[in-house]
Chains A and B, each alone.
Chain A
Amino acid sequence: MTHEDVQADAGIPKNFNAEELDPFRGVDFSQLERSLRRPRTFMSMLLSGIVAAMTLFALIPLFSVVGLLLWRGGRKLSIAAFTQLPPAPLEQNGGFGNAILGTLVIVGMALLISVPIGILSAIFLAQAKSGNRLASTVRFAAKVLTGFPSILAGVFAYGVVVTATGGYSALAGAVALSILMLPTILLTAEDAIRMVPSKMKEAAIGMGATDTQTVWMVLLPTAVPRILTGVMLAVARGAGETAPLLFTSLFSNYWLIWHGHVKLMQPTASLAVLIYNFAGMPFANQVELAWAAALVLVLLVLTANLIGQSLSRRQVE
């Protein structure tokens, strides 16, 4: 069968010109191709490149900080660094064992203050009706407090604790840190309780549970991982803060626990203040110790962050 025969069978006239029926006649396909010569495509590619470069550039400090910490701090890190006391000027070696202990004690005391207040208010906020004036005021105050300058928390603790007790102490530092930790704990705990599926709450109420029983037996157990996430994030923030400790817990070259007595009302060392003090000293040994302490502090903060994130992630899956 020839080509003409097929055309005749299909009822197409013999003088048919294939080009006239072509729906894509006159379309220049090269126009539709993505070409960098076209200004719009070029702009798009260029901007993508710029944004990618800027994002990577923003990450350079992170790698620089971490790399330097590992290099300069890791060199000095030894068991002695964890067990010995800070050296005097021109003295060699030494460590910052008392500062690690001090940071842990101050953050722990800050938790004792901020966790009960934060979680109990969060329960109230989560249970309150949407129009509750007190709840929305507390929420707004907490949000404003998240951006509260850390140094002002120190000023407040100085005015309240240091002047009242007559001296710098671990307690004053803990009060300052608890102010910075409270909003984080409060807001994440409220979110956590609100995220509990409402059918669980309704089931408890339907069984005849009182509000308190619902909170303790249903809402809190379900919300605990997320609440702990908030607490760990607050710990991470508190451990890294320096400014509020500068003139509340000050610094000390001695152990917090001495001959079995815990001295909570004495000036107390902390990692962050040690880094600040030693970084400005003209002695190489002190600067090296500052780097090692910075490495320990960053590891501490990162561990708290990671624990916090893993707690809430497990629940999502």
Chain B
Amino acid sequence: MPADSQISRPPSRIQIATDTAFRVLCQGFAWLALLIAVFIVLKIVIAALPAVRQYGLGFLTGRVWDPHKKVYSILPEIWGTLYSSVLALILGTAFGVAAAVFLAEGFVADYAFALLKIFKLQFHPVWGKLPRQVDNLLRNLIELLAAIPSVVYGLWGLFVVIPLVRPACHWLHAKMGWVPLFGTDLSGPGMLPAVIVLSIMILPTITAIGRGALVGVPSRLRMAAYGLGATRWETILAVTIPTASPGIFGGVVLAFGRALGETMALAMLVGNANVISASLFSPANTLAALLANAFPEASPKDVGVLMYAATALLAITLLVNAAGAYILQRTSSDPEGSKA
């Protein structure tokens, strides 16, 4: 049989060459992606080096920021970044985990089912789908919270949250001014409105990851608890949440990283004042807000100082994000999700 009548043939030399070239190309781009990540970090750190040499560690511990006298330090900004993020995390975690439990345990679907049962429609071909749809709708609504750009939240905070909380803040300051949290009065922008908006922005992250972790809990664990006579909430508190806690914790850490780096809502709401205060109503500043406000009008000499501040922010967020990514990777590689 002549060789050219065969249907199959080995790849031609051109095909082999293309194959090798394409594989090398893909690997090259993977290297490129990695190099970009490394380059970003190096670029910011190297740009900060002159300022690091000039101002040293005193930059991180001083309290004055005065471009006219060429005195720069960022302790109030570091404090503001951490304080606002921690407060927002407390608020966001409380509501975010509650929403995650509410979504993961199918409460809405149950309510919808019970409602349909009253009208004897629970197995109706069209109405019977309602519980599932309501469930999906609620999940999508929570995710929509994440889709709204942060500058729109800032706008909303300026015109809605600040006027809304101001009377309550006046009252709290007047009645309980001796509590450090209410030590100063709210005069427009301040920590509390910033924290409220920030917590809304990180809530979808906590809810989405937390819901994933709760749904991933093997149902036989839940069934075992029910079989022992536990009520629904005894099961949730004693079995489901502890089992899912590594995943939930990973989500909380990622949300913390997001809160630390969030810029616009804070730049618009926090007040940009160089003070360290435990008061919820005092204006403050954060590293990201400082960068957003000072960078556009910085002279070339100031840029080095701002790069130092950017490096501080970079170090804090990279640490928190790497921890969050590591925790989530470890829990997701554990197939049972039941290490707790």
Binding site for B on A (CB under 8 A): 40-41, 43-44, 47-48, 50-52, 54-55, 57-59, 61-62, 64-65, 68-69, 116-118, 120-121, 123-125, 127, 134-135, 137-138, 140-156, 158-160, 179, 182, 186, 208, 210-213, 215, 236, 239-243, 246-247, 250, 272, 275-276, 279-280, 287, 290-291, 294, 297-298, 301-302, 305
Contact = CB atoms under 8 A, between A and B. Distances in A.
Interface string B316-328: 0110111011000
A134 B19 CA distance: 20
15 contacts: A43-B233, A141-B37, A149-B262, A152-B261, A154-B295, A155-B44, A158-B295, A239-B149, A242-B151, A272-B151, A279-B151, A287-B159, A297-B152, A298-B148, A298-B149
B295 A155 contact: yes
B34 A141 contact: yes
Given A65-B156, A208-B11, A294-B149, 16 more contacts: A58-B95, A120-B29, A134-B30, A134-B34, A137-B34, A149-B260, A149-B288, A151-B261, A151-B292, A155-B44, A159-B47, A179-B36, A182-B33, A210-B11, A212-B23, A240-B150
B168 interface: no
A144 B325 contact: yes
Contacts, number: 255
A122 B33 CA distance: 10
A65 B149 contact: no
Interface string B250-272: 00001001101111100110000
Nearest to B11: A210
Contacts of A144: 37, 318, 321-322, 325
Interface stretch (B50-58, B64-72, B139-147, B171-179): B139-147
Nearest to B197: A61
Contact of A159 (B257, B263, B307): B307
B195 interface: no
Contacts of B160: 64, 68
B15 interface: yes
A48 B233 contact: yes
Nearest to A145: B37
B36 A58 contact: no
B187 to A, nearest CB: 16
B231 A44 contact: yes
B313 interface: yes
Interface string B216-252: 0000000000000001111010000000000000000
Contacts of B123: none
Q: Which are the 9 A-B pairs with shortest beta-carbon distances? A: A149-B261, A240-B149, A243-B263, A120-B29, A124-B26, A54-B98, A147-B321, A210-B19, A124-B30
Interface in B292-310: 292, 295-296, 303, 306-307, 310
B270 to A, nearest CB: 13
A243 B232 contact: no
B74 to A, nearest CB: 14
A61 B144 CA distance: 11
A212 B155 CA distance: 49
Nearest to B296: A247
A135 B30 contact: yes
Contacts of B260: 149
B149 A40 contact: no
Contacts of A290: 155
B94 interface: yes
A79 B310 CA distance: 41
B149 A147 contact: no
A57 B26 CA distance: 47
B153 interface: yes
B165 interface: no
Contacts of A150: 261, 263
Nearest to B110: A48
A50 B237 CA distance: 14
Interface string B22-54: 110111011111101110100110010000000
Contact of A55 (B47, B98, B267, B295): B98
Contacts of A59: 141-142, 145
Contacts of A68: 156, 159-160
B98 A120 contact: no
A149 B40 CA distance: 12
B283 interface: no
A122 to B, nearest CB: 9
A124 B29 CA distance: 8
Nearest to A149: B261
Contacts of B254: 147
A155 B189 CA distance: 25
B138 A147 contact: no
